[in-house]
Structure formats: C-alpha cells, structure tokens
Amino acid sequence: MSRNVLDEAHIHPAIRQTIADKHADIVQEVQAAIAGNKEVIVGMGQNPFPKQACKALDALGTPYKYLGYGSYLNQWRRRNALKMWTGWPTFPMVFVNGILVGGAGDLKRLIDSGEFARMIAE
C-alpha cells in the first residue's frame, strides 16, 4: 500500500524549493531524534494523547525521546510540516525503531498485542 503524494512533476519548478524549505528545521530535528533514539514521541501541549503515549512507555520503563511543539494555538504551521512529511494527521506521532507506528491508541494496541516488545527487541 502506498499513500498518495503529489508528484513533483505536478509542482511548478519555481516553488519546489519553497516547499522543500518550509519549516524544514522541524522535520530535520525529528529525523535526528529518530536516528538517535529507538522510541520517539512527537507531541504538543494541551493535547492529552501525547501524555497518554508517554505514560504508556513510562509504565513499561522504556526510555524515549519526547519532542513537544507548541499547543493548539501556536506553532501549528510548523507542526503542519511534520504532518505533510509523515502523512499522519494527528499528534502524537510515535516512532519505534524509525517506523511511524501511529498515535497513542496505536501504541497501546502494539503494547497489548506484544508486538511492541518484539519491535524493541530488534
């Protein structure tokens, strides 16, 4: 399965660099965190779901890197760059071994099924 991404041929050459550069720093920061940590949670303030994901990993004693970007009323434009990069529409974004596994509910399902333990054992 693949997700639909606008083909570069359908983006005018004059704006390609603008698209590539738009809030590239936040994407690079998340990429660096993923490269340096087995588990990464990307979240935002005032949202209870990133906290749920953190609590789930805390309960397991699993170390993770948390990156928080603003709240509902600020930094939403920067967070949009992450949504466009991943294709994931909500926060948190949970990465395990460099793989986006979804949000807090998805993480809980992985933990409950035993798949999370298998993933971190790799």
User: pLDDT by residue (tens digit) across 61-106?
Assistant: 999 999 999 999 999 999 999 999 999 999 999 999 999 999 999 9
pLDDT of 9-50, one tens digit each?
999 999 999 999 999 999 999 999 999 999 999 999 999 999
Note the pTM of the prediction, 2 decimals: 0.93
- DSSP label at 74? B
> Within a 10 A sphere around the Cβ of 79, how many other Cβ atoms?
19
Tokens matching residue 59: 């309960």
Nearest to 90 by CA among 99, 78, 80: 80
Determine contact, residues 50/91, Cβ cutoff 8 Å.
yes
Tokens matching residue 38: 């087995």
